[in-house]
Structure 1
Amino acid sequence: MNSIVNILTQLRTHTSTLHSELEQTPLSLALLDADVSSHNYVAYLQKMRGIIDFYEGTVFPVLKNTLTDLSEREKLAAIDKDLEYMSAESNNLPVFANPVAINPTIAYAFGCMYVIEGSTLGGKVILKHISKMLGILPDEGGTYFASYGEQTGHYWKTFLNNLQEYSANNNCDAEIITGAKDTFTAIKHYFEQ
């Protein structure tokens, strides 16, 4: 049981600074600012589109036999729906790439997913803020941030259970942590472009 708990503790420890740095990027700060604009929101969605497109194309296939609910975790269509609602471009956007994740192992992919799935928790906070400030609702421009709705906690716990089980059975904690760290770093750099 100690190693099961340990991977989550290790992930939090090894990524906390990177997580904080990502939250301090101008793009992230603008989204939660009291003066958030529709332009800020669209810019954030456009960046997230590139990120989600990349990870759904490179990381999801690696985990398809390990995470049974993977198709329910797809969010690209939700972002496209929100961009369409906002009358914003969803094509010809800046391309995101995490070169290290092009051919990931399952362990590395779990680390990437830890970041991507963890962002759904923050999405609830963001949706509440943009709903108040911009009038964005879950079915009116906020589909991506509302992706799991009331099931957000359930999906997060299910993912963590799968991650813990894989960690306990495969002696791969360093690789999982590297995947998470690389993902935080790649997203931060992309946000700063």
Structure 2
Amino acid sequence: MNPTNIIQILREETRPHHIQIEDNKYAKAIMDSSLSIEEYREYLERFYGFIKPMEQHMTHHEEWSRYDFDISARSKIKDLELDLVALGLTQKQIHDLSECPRIPNLVTFPAILGYLYVIEGSTLGGQLIMKQLKQTLNIQADVNGHYFNSYGSQEVKTKWNEFREFMLSVPLSEGEQHIVIEAAKETFIMLYQWME
């Protein structure tokens, strides 16, 4: 495996999983304009329950400072909390939300990169989802649509390119590349199962 191709390899290896996650019941309802505001809140609660334990696991790795990469700026929990409060939840209710019992193993840094490939990549699709939600549920990006508008429409491609370049700059052995790929697949699969 050529390390400069890790993004391309990830795209190819995870394509079936990517297609599957876009076919979850909430995403389908968004695209066919049948999602209710209650289901939208439930969708965000599901993301919160999956992402919160993941972010808690990954933020303390020393590699972030070694590579001078601001991982705190990539947090999605803040956006989800803003949306959930706007949708009527109290801080206590948010704190008490169920967390996904099965999450990918993020012990190693390559595994974290695999997870982040999925989550950071989803911000690109979030733009399309946000457009649809605005039309059907009148969701506003700066009120109750922060999560699907992560980084804002002007910055999302820039942020993705920054992450892409970061991943390409991290020296990975063939074994570590395998860990990245398997962690990305595992993230897609577990997130889909949690959504369903």
Could you say what secondary structure the match of 2:107 adopts? Answer: coil
TM-score (norm 1): 0.90
SS at match of 2:148: coil
Question: 1:77/1:186 Cα in 2 relative to 1: closer, same or farther (>3 Å)?
Answer: same
Q: Which residue of 2 aligns with 1:39?
A: 38
Code of the aligned partner of 2:73: E
Q: Distance in 2 between matches of 1:15 and 1:30?
A: 23
Q: Which residue of 2 aligns with 1:20?
A: 19
Q: Distance in 2 between matches of 1:53 and 1:34?
A: 28
Alpha-carbon distance, 1:97 to partner:
4.0
Distance in 2 (CA, whole Å) between partners of 1:131 and 1:90 is: 24
The Cα shift of 1:100 comes to: 4.1
C-alpha distance 20-54 of structure 1, shift in aligned 2 (>3 A): same
TM superposition shift of 1:143 = 1.2
Q: Is the 8 A contact 1:97 1:186 kept in 2?
A: no
Residue 115 of structure 2 corresponds to residue 116 of structure 1: no
| Matching residue of 1:175 | 179
Q: Equivalents in 1 of 2:28, 2:68: separation in Å?
A: 32
Paired letter, 1:20: I
Give yes or no for the alignment of 1:64 onto 2:68: no
CA 1:189–1:132 in 2, change beyond 3 Å: closer, same or farther? Answer: same
Contact 1:52–1:76 under 8 Å retained in 2: yes
TM-score normalized with structure 2 length: 0.88
Root mean square deviation of aligned Cα:
1.7
Residues 29 and 35, structure 2, Cα contact 8 Å, conserved in 1 = yes
8 Å Cα contact 1:111-1:178 kept in structure 2: yes
Partner of 2:85: 84
Alignment pair present for 1:185 and 2:186: no
Residue 106 in structure 1 maps to residue 117 in structure 2: no
Q: Secondary structure at the match of 2:100?
A: coil
Question: Counterparts of 1:130 and 1:49 in 2: how far apart (Å)?
Answer: 18
Look up the SS of the partner of 2:147 in the other structure: coil
Q: How many percent identity over aligned positions? A: 29
Count of residues paired in the alignment: 188
User: For residue 64 of structure 1, what is the amino acid of its counterpart?
Assistant: W
> In structure 1, what is the equivalent of residue 98 of structure 2?
94
Alignment partners' CA distance in 2, 1:129 and 1:67: 36
* Per-residue deviation, 1:155: 0.8
Task: Please identify runs of 4+ aligned residues in structure 1 that moved more than 3 A.
Answer: 97-100
The residue number in structure 1 matching 2:10 is: 11
Residues 59, 112 of structure 1: 8 Å contact kept: no
Unaligned runs of 5+ in 1: none
Cα distance change, pair 78–19 in 1 and its aligned pair in 2 (3 A)? same
**Native 8 Å contact 1:111 1:179 kept in 2:** yes
- Whole-angstrom distance in 1 between the partners of 2:134 and 2:147: 13
Q: Distance in 2 between matches of 1:92 and 1:72?
A: 24
Amino acid at match of 1:30: A
Q: What runs of 5+ residues in structure 2 fail to find an aligned partner?
A: none
Q: 1:67 to 1:144 in 2, by over 3 A?
A: farther
Please name the residue that 2:75 is paired with.
Answer: 74
Q: Match for residue 140 of structure 2? A: 137
Task: Quote the offset at 1:59 in angstroms.
Answer: 2.1
